[in-house]
Structure 1
Amino acid sequence: MGWKKYPQEVVDRLFLAIDEDDVINSETTEFPSVVLGTSQQNIRDYYALCLQLWEEGFTRQELLSLINQVLAGQELTKAQRKQYKFIRARYKHLRFAQRLYSQKHDADKIFKATTVYLGHFQDGFKNGDKNSVQYYGKILRLLLSRPIWSWVKYSLNHLHVDSETGFQRYVCAQLNELSTMLNKATVTGTEFHDIRKIVSQQVSFFDTQRSIENNPTQVYAISRFLANINGLMGDKHDEMVADKLSGVREYETPTTLDSQLRSDLEQLVEKTVRI
């Protein structure tokens, strides 16, 4: 479909932004006001960069080799674990891009499943869960087989991007959903996870924009502010999952949001102008 190709320095900027997109920081304490929306040309160009990051970042054989090594009972080296983490990060960013920019605002089913199973497989080998490693590893080997890989690549390259109006409608709905959840005194585990998914998609949008535009001050500030929220929520979610696994607390037990986190999320809602 003739997707735009970017110079390597632009791809590198995006990779660096993604590596920082859940790092807790205090670079920006006030969320800059932002008008929600962008042109259809930008929608197409942003998706093109996310696709390029994924296509050029690794090979099918490299990922399969890492999975087969773990399935064979061999531990990954520190460098290999980092390699796996970065491959998964590319999957996650492209999944966010499909949700944001496609007409259906959802990821390809096989691609989405692969992204999820890469996470479960990583949890398995990090925690020494051999059953999980075997189960998800064998599924991943199937999903990364040559015929399925070829189909997924075809699907990704033939994605139909949404219109400017459709994109605005989608992101406005996401912010309205966030606003509704913030009106509650407590949130369940699922609601907390849903809030983080909205934040993560917004982080990915501004990460992509600042990478293409070479870090303009306001876009960079928005990206870092959202990354801080993402990092705080990530730490809290890890705690909630650990409590569930240890039997300390059920995942769906209603919980209050940390006051600083709530304040930051409220800033995001209040200072984002819906067209």
Structure 2
Amino acid sequence: MINLEKPHYDHILLDRLFQNILEDDIPSPGARYPDGDYFQYPEDLSVSGYRICWQLLNDGVDVKRFRFLVLNILLKGGTESVEQRQHFKYVRARFKHLRFACANFDRRHRYPWSLNLVTSLMGHMQDAFKNRQMARTRIFGAILFLTILPAFYALVRFQMRSFLPDSNKNMIAYHQRENAKIDSIVRREKITAHDFHDLRKIISRRVAFNDTFRVLHSSDYLDKISLYLADINGEMGDYHDRLVEKNISKPSSYKEDIFNLDRNISNRIIYLISGNR
């Protein structure tokens, strides 16, 4: 099994990675994809990429403190505290990033089911209290609380540590398969909110991959790619929030409503995946 604790990355690199995560959906109007070929992946990218993402979560989340926060919010059926909302958001961001790391760097290219469950419940609970849905906040909060109790969280920890490194060749093949999925969605005349959600998940995984890559191997080229990806991710995030709000008032709309994908978004995504990118 890969040693995820060592070598240990210093707080400067971990803080830089977390800052990248916080900025990965901020629109950057006018951001352009850089010219030239994509960076060659260094041989250790799979291991070093997963290791730093694991350390970001392991070092940055006090699970006992977070458990208390979840319990506090679910008992109240919500929270208006800026501090509590930020705490919840930051914990969820670290979990999401490790979940993306499992898809990006592990040779199975999938989310461990327990980690995915915990992270998804965080998302549902956050959507609920952001939209002042007391009943849904309590339901998702109660289930989330159970999954971060010591007995179940031990399984989450075990699956997070059960990392199988991938080769650069296989990672490139994985990205090409993801590109094919993106292409099949963005070229449709009409898409559903569910299609849009699937598309955004793939883009988010690519954003997370580049956020990690550029911390480990700093370059202006990778920084420009991140700006381009953040611009797409930010626009898609704003649109997805509106779809979630609509789904709350009309649950059937998420799978039944169809619409045209914004042309600016689709063109930028098509340019992203064109050629060997």
Q: State whether TM-score is above 0.5.
A: yes
Asked if 1:245 corresponds to 2:232, the answer is: no
Gaps of 5+ in 2: none
Say how many residue pairs are matched: 272
Q: Distance in 2 between matches of 1:92 and 1:240?
A: 20
Between 84-93 and 35-44, report the one with greater CA deviation.
Answer: 35-44
Once the two structures are TM-superposed, the CA of residue 147 in structure 1 deviates from its matched residue by 2.1
Tell me which stretches of 4 or more aligned residues in structure 1 moved more than 6 Å. none
2:266 to 244, 262, 272: 262
Asked if 1:104 corresponds to 2:112, the answer is: no
Give the TM-score normalised by the residue count of structure 1: 0.92
Contact preservation (8 Å) 2:70, 2:145: yes
Residue 163 (structure 1) aligns with: 167
For the residue of structure 1 that corresponds to 2:253, the secondary structure is coil
2:130 to 123, 126, 130: 126
Letter in 2 for 1:123: D
1:135 to 125, 139, 153: 139
Residue 2 (structure 1) aligns with: 3
Asked if 1:218 corresponds to 2:221, the answer is: yes
Contact preservation (8 Å) 1:186, 1:255: yes
Q: Distance in 2 between matches of 1:140 and 1:161?
A: 29
Once the two structures are TM-superposed, the CA of residue 255 in structure 1 deviates from its matched residue by 1.2
For the residue of structure 1 that corresponds to 2:208, the secondary structure is helix
Q: Percent identity?
A: 28
Contact preservation (8 Å) 1:21, 1:203: yes
1:26 to 17, 29, 33: 29
2:61 to 38, 58, 62: 58
Letter in 2 for 1:244: N
Residue 115 (structure 1) aligns with: 119
Between 72-81 and 163-172, report the one with greater CA deviation.
Answer: 72-81
Q: Distance in 1 between matches of 2:167 and 2:159?
A: 19
Letter in 1 for 2:83: A
Measured on the aligned residues, the alpha-carbon RMSD in Å equals: 2.0
Residue 144 (structure 1) aligns with: 148
Higher relative contact order (CA 8 A, sep 6+): 1
Letter in 1 for 2:159: S
Letter in 2 for 1:223: S
Once the two structures are TM-superposed, the CA of residue 124 in structure 1 deviates from its matched residue by 1.8
Flag the 1:248–1:171 CA change in 2: closer, same or farther, 3 A. closer
Gaps of 5+ in 1: none
